[in-house]
Amino acid sequence: MNNNHQATDVPFHFRHCCWFCNEPAAETFAFPNRQSIGLESSHPAIFVASCQECKRFANQVYGHSIWQCREKVKKALIKRYQKDLAIGKNWTKEELANSEFSGGNFEGFAKSGWFIYEVARDRVNFAGWPLHCNGQEISDSSDGLEFIFDGVTYADLSSAIEFYVKTYYLEADFLLKIINIVGEDRFADAIRFARLYIGYSRAAQNELLGDLKLRN
């Protein structure tokens, strides 16, 4: 680690937590990392507490600030735990609890599936704590980029689109065109519309999009 990096203040109740995801922190992450040395940064070189997994993701980031690192770590977590997060999109807690799965992996899924989803969701949603170095606050340069939908905070809209494309086997281009018509505020409607027409030809999709424009 570079000796020029400075420690950041950590609130007492987060003293053993990862700044990126709130899991137990066994490491520290130094920014700028080796990938980002030489880039102009808006804040001093700092250390933040990190778990091993988030540090591994953060070490691969090429960016101008710790906030860009956080955005890309969140995207990496969403990609890594795609199947875990999808549990909360395909089931409710009550449905899992009342399911009649029995034996082997199915029974284990019924018992622990919702907990697995909650752990992944909470890691992705964790916003970290305000960063201070030598008494000075390091301003969050990512304000306004996050996209919150159905209880999960995505780094941005494109990250949410990528997640739902993989979860429901949607066509990314078709979904994006729908969102451009109905707007981000109707993201749920866009997902439902895209799911109705999975597998349709490009010509059929274009006709559907034309009708959608007329109704919006």
Q: Where are the domains of the chain?
A: 1-79
Tokens read off for 37:
């040395």
| Strand locations in the chain (E) | 6-7, 27-31, 46-50, 132-133, 136-137, 147-149, 152-154
% of the chain beyond a pLDDT of 90: 63
31 three-state secondary structure: strand
How much is the pTM?
A: 0.82
Q: Residue 167 has what pLDDT?
A: 94
Q: How confident is the model at residue 170 (pLDDT cuts 50, 70, 90)?
A: very high
Going across the sheet that includes 46-50, the strands are 6-7, 46-50, 27-31
171 three-state secondary structure: coil
What is the distance between the alpha carbons of residues 14 and 53, in angstroms, rounded to a whole number? 18
Q: How confident is the model at residue 102 (pLDDT cuts 50, 70, 90)?
A: low
Which candidate, 80, 27, 37, places its Cα nearest to that of 62? Answer: 37
**Tokens 């606050």 — which residue?**
137
Q: Residue 2 has what pLDDT?
A: 47
